Structure 1
Amino acid sequence: MLQTALSDFVSLIFPHTCLACQQPLARGETHICTGCRTQLPYTDYHRLSPTDNPLLRRFWGRVPVHYALSYLRFLRRGRVQHLLHQLKYQGQREVGSALGLMYGQELADSELVTGIDLIVPVPLHPRKLAKRGYNQSDSFAEGLAQSLQVPWSATGLHRTSYTVSQTRKTRAERWENVADVFGVSKPDTVQGQHVLVVDDVLTTGATLEACAIKLLDAGAAKVSIATIACADR
């Protein structure tokens, strides 16, 4: 009772707020309030067959991705954009881990994730990592790994060169920008494994395609993809 009362008092003085709408969280709510959870634009792609999955179709004829999933639809000026802005530019790493935990809990009962051996986030270049202080995809990977009870590695992939922002580039320009900038740090750790590559947002898919190719070339048996959000093409 004393601990509960103390917790309520601390929450009153320093209230925890929803990561999506910034309103105070009610007792029992964590990270994202119930109202926002009911209104987030979920894709539910994990409930579709591979042939009906529009995200997976983006990779057809480009790289043999086993499956491609995204938790939310990216809508400009909406809750998802705010969450991603908090994650990438406001130092709110818990956004990624919270969404990873939530998504992982949904995926845990899906046959799609059966057999995942390793989760690997898309890496940042050391220069950008030093500037930001963290890789936003790491926290998403960590949350997913915790829910799915699968190991993850922040160093499974690395960037071999610095690239400029992908924003405002065409698909061809994005591919040219990232085609040869990734490497597999320790090929023996991915050989024969089903690797899940994760990132914050999927737009054209060029970055994830480049990562998948490198992992398959290094001997990965299968590569699948999961992101926090996906943008319409």
Structure 2
Amino acid sequence: MFQSVLALFFPKICYSCNGLLHDNEQYACTSCRHNFPVTNFHFNKDETVLKVFYGRIPVENATALLRFEKKGITQNLIHNLKYKGFEEIGEFLGNWLGGELQNFPEYQDIDMVIPVPLHKKKLRKRGYNQVAKFGQALATSLKAEYIEDVLVKVTNTSSQVTKNRLTRWLNNTEVFKVINSHKIENKHILLVDDIITTGATMEACGTVLLKNANTRISIATMAIA
């Protein structure tokens, strides 16, 4: 009875299409779940994400769960995650991708999961890192450690959305640094973010992480543009 009254005043919505969810649905409606533009990169041994970093930084393995298209359901999903406070979307996507990656040998030796960090000013303004719950869920699935106190963003850069590849790379130069570096020596790190476009941000993160002894990097994102 209480749940019915609660649903009347606070109805559950689909985070992809903003429609109402039925009682047996969670996070996304059945229609959106069937229409999510999944990449299947890791199932098909597709190197689309890996090729983004060829000649830039050495990456062991790389994948993205969904394709990101303007005005598509993935964009709405991630918009709700980043700007509407629906942090549970990150957990939903992390459990989904983690449940798949745990079956692949190349991801079974991941030692730790590290999110692309936000600058402390942006973190205070937003209240959370939209990648945190995604990374935590992946770490749980892969039986890895989730680490937030190694990679930090030291420069508060402007939005990357309208920048081209060169400008993004220049904008990220010396933006990130590693602290507590002893934690990542001899480790295989899964670096995670929400969307990969040019790869400049993850390249900048990977560059500073790889300066540490015998560190290896793999990459996983919610979506690829």
Output the TM-score relative to the length of structure 2: 0.94
What does residue 151 of structure 2 align with? 157
RMSD: 1.6
Give the superposition deviation at 1:76: 0.5
| Matches of 1:222 and 1:37, distance apart in 2 | 34
What does residue 188 of structure 2 align with? 194
Asked whether the 8 Å contact 1:104–1:147 carries over to 2, the reply is yes
Give the superposition deviation at 1:14: 3.1
| Matches of 2:190 and 2:73, distance apart in 1 | 26
Specify the code of the residue in structure 2 equivalent to 1:11: A
Asked whether the 8 Å contact 1:43–1:73 carries over to 2, the reply is yes
Asked whether the 8 Å contact 2:59–2:218 carries over to 1, the reply is yes
| Matches of 1:120 and 1:139, distance apart in 2 | 11
SS in 1 for 2:222: strand
Give the superposition deviation at 1:25: 2.3
What does residue 30 of structure 1 align with? 26
Asked whether the 8 Å contact 1:119–1:198 carries over to 2, the reply is yes
What does residue 131 of structure 2 align with? 137
What does residue 43 of structure 2 align with? 47
Give the superposition deviation at 1:112: 2.6
Seen in structure 2, the aligned counterparts of structure 1 residues 152 and 220 have a Cα distance that, compared at 3 Å, is farther
What does residue 168 of structure 1 align with? 162
Specify the code of the residue in structure 2 equivalent to 1:202: I
| Matches of 1:107 and 1:40, distance apart in 2 | 18
Task: Select between 26-35 and 64-73 the one with higher mean Cα deviation.
Answer: 26-35
Task: Select between 197-206 and 137-146 the one with higher mean Cα deviation.
Answer: 137-146
Aligned pairs for 1:33-112 within 5 A: 33-49=29-45, 52-112=46-106
Seen in structure 2, the aligned counterparts of structure 1 residues 81 and 12 have a Cα distance that, compared at 3 Å, is same
| Matches of 2:158 and 2:11, distance apart in 1 | 39
| Per-residue deviation, residues 140-162 of structure 1 (Å, max 9, x unmatched) | 11222233332211222101222
- The answer on 1:20 being equivalent to 2:9 is no
Seen in structure 2, the aligned counterparts of structure 1 residues 220 and 118 have a Cα distance that, compared at 3 Å, is farther
Specify the code of the residue in structure 2 equivalent to 1:215: L
Asked whether the 8 Å contact 2:108–2:142 carries over to 1, the reply is no
| Per-residue deviation, residues 100-153 of structure 1 (Å, max 9, x unmatched) | 111111212122311000000000111111111111111211222233332211
Structure 2 residues without counterparts, runs of 5 or longer? none
Q: Quick one: which of 188, 210, 214 aligns to 2:208?
A: 214
Aligned identity (percent) is 41
| Matches of 1:48 and 1:219, distance apart in 2 | 32
SS in 1 for 2:134: helix
Specify the code of the residue in structure 2 equivalent to 1:46: H
Specify the code of the residue in structure 1 equivalent to 2:91: S
